[in-house]
Structure 1
């Protein structure tokens, strides 16, 4: 389904400087939400609309007062209260120009817990952010929000200026408080996947036309044979492969995903989103983590595993 945007004819925008077109006048890319409930899709679409409109009060209405945790896992920004998040957005929102946009591109899950893929354009924070976000809800309000994204896409130098010192990074993101609200069906699928990635054998987990995306490695692989072969080659070096454990699971029987931890390595956390078919096989997997924590040589070595043999 597509997001609701104001109706604008092509003739109205023709000949206009694209940089001068207000964000509210630009149709967003198509939103894919066929593995999400209508209720959570409507709720999140409205939230991003109000965020783009720079309406602080309306944006904050989507969040619970207590408990409420908002974390940017890439930068280490941690806002453990509703008021802390409001203070940060109150600082940034007035500086956003009319061309700034924040919009979801994919939603997976339900009104208890979900995963959303979204984009912040560079006008918001100085660089483009393409995030996968973990969301927990209570009574329709967000109790926990955790962003995961690749800092290299934003820019390594800019990342270094914004990231908090390592000693100040939060070690938990509120998952111990909100608890697990995901579907038992989804949890079983996640457990199977994480175990398979740990041993390097994903045989039987993916559908015939499954898509596997690693946003940090800029890699897309299609089909179970190719995916299985890639995992066999790479699982010992992928941060979500050998040694990874599940931090928190989110979603419904249609799909969702999990946040993962891999202690003792440079990239020690990230998130994996999955969409499931009626037999709980994975039709789409999208994973992201912070590639700015690795040097160019290490990333190039990891990319060598994407070459089919």
Structure 2
């Protein structure tokens, strides 16, 4: 798998960057944090986002398996459940993107599955979006991709017009159709962390964290620094956070250095993802979670933000 992914990524990067086809200059800011990623997976995503940012439909689709299970926007409820459906969407929208770019700012895991954090500039879909994607590979190609992002800063009129109605919103994103793609280490850590988050008091969460862990919630725009502060915060929000008490583990992706898990809230209304980066001892050095903050009531949103401050 690793060799095939590396060869595919290298060949495709050369193809999309070759003189005569596209400019060899980098087409997006090279800001991605990649310390917790497999180098071949980094090459793959750089090549993929180069093709996407150049609005090249065929080059972009060359990174996807013909047996694609799904490319799902988990926030809008858009499951594109085969190769041709995804290609049709790219063919429809890419010519309208103008100077729009899509590029990674953090890559975690690999080589068989990964979390990629990336930015879609406003030209693509009407507003700047910062996403976490859970990605599975098979035979060097993308077989499943699920995107998660917070819509609270996205134009409300666009969101309301394109989001799948609640009564028709999908509850699963074909995660049951792929297994064995995550490394044993991240499976163990993700399972333990998710279990600790769902327990009655969150007492066990601290034992999984490094002393200098960074915790960030994209939906709440909050950040905590250090094991003690993060542990206390996660214990305080047990009864309020959608990823905490009663939530369900849906899917795990990643490698030896990190990855993440997709989850569903106890009431089934919110889907989200929590990315985990691991240190050399297997402790969590960074937690990044995101979900659609619009689905949380205003009082709950304010309370979760308030609880991020020590009193």
TM-score of the two chains, using structure 2 as the length reference:
0.88
Q: Is the 8 A contact 1:156 1:292 kept in 2?
A: no
Question: How many angstroms does 1:25 deviate by?
Answer: 6.8
Q: Specify which of 214, 220, 223 is matched with residue 220 of structure 1.
A: 223
**Aligned ranges for residues 136-151 of structure 1 at < 5 Å?**
136-151=136-151
Q: Specify which of 187, 208, 216 is matched with residue 211 of structure 2.
A: 208
User: Which range moves more in the overlay, 184-193 or 50-59?
Assistant: 184-193
Determine whether 1:305 maps to 2:307: yes
Question: How many angstroms does 1:26 deviate by?
Answer: 6.1
Q: How far apart in 1 are the matches of 2:155 and 2:249?
A: 28
Determine whether 1:276 maps to 2:274: no
RMSD over aligned CA atoms reads 2.0
Match of 1:96 in 2: 97
Consecutive unaligned residues of structure 2, counting only runs of 5 or more, are: 1-12, 18-22
Q: CA offsets per residue over residues 12-71 of structure 1, 9 Å max, x none?
A: xxxxxxxxxx9x776505111111111111011110010000000000000001143110
Question: How many angstroms does 1:295 deviate by?
Answer: 3.4
Match of 1:236 in 2: 239
Q: How far apart in 1 are the matches of 2:238 and 2:266?
A: 16
Match of 1:134 in 2: 134
User: Which range moves more in the overlay, 161-170 or 238-247?
Assistant: 161-170
Q: How far apart in 1 are the matches of 2:104 and 2:97?
A: 18
Match of 1:114 in 2: 114
Q: For the structure 1 residues 180 and 153, does the alpha-carbon distance in structure 2 shift closer, same or farther, using more than 3 Å as the test?
A: farther
Question: How many angstroms does 1:265 deviate by?
Answer: 5.6
Q: CA offsets per residue over residues 153-194 of structure 1, 9 Å max, x none?
A: 223332111101122222221212122411111111011101
User: Which range moves more in the overlay, 26-35 or 137-146?
Assistant: 26-35
What SS does the corresponding residue of 1:46 show, helix, strand or coil?
A: helix
Q: How far apart in 1 are the matches of 2:297 and 2:27?
A: 37
Q: Is the 8 A contact 1:111 1:140 kept in 2?
A: no
TM-score of the two chains, using structure 1 as the length reference:
0.89
Q: How far apart in 2 are the matches of 1:104 and 1:90?
A: 22
Match of 1:71 in 2: 72
What SS does the corresponding residue of 1:242 show, helix, strand or coil?
A: coil
Q: Is the 8 A contact 1:40 1:110 kept in 2?
A: yes
Q: How far apart in 1 are the matches of 2:28 and 2:137?
A: 28
Consecutive unaligned residues of structure 1, counting only runs of 5 or more, are: 7-21
Q: CA offsets per residue over residues 50-93 of structure 1, 9 Å max, x none?
A: 00000000000000011431100000011100000001111100
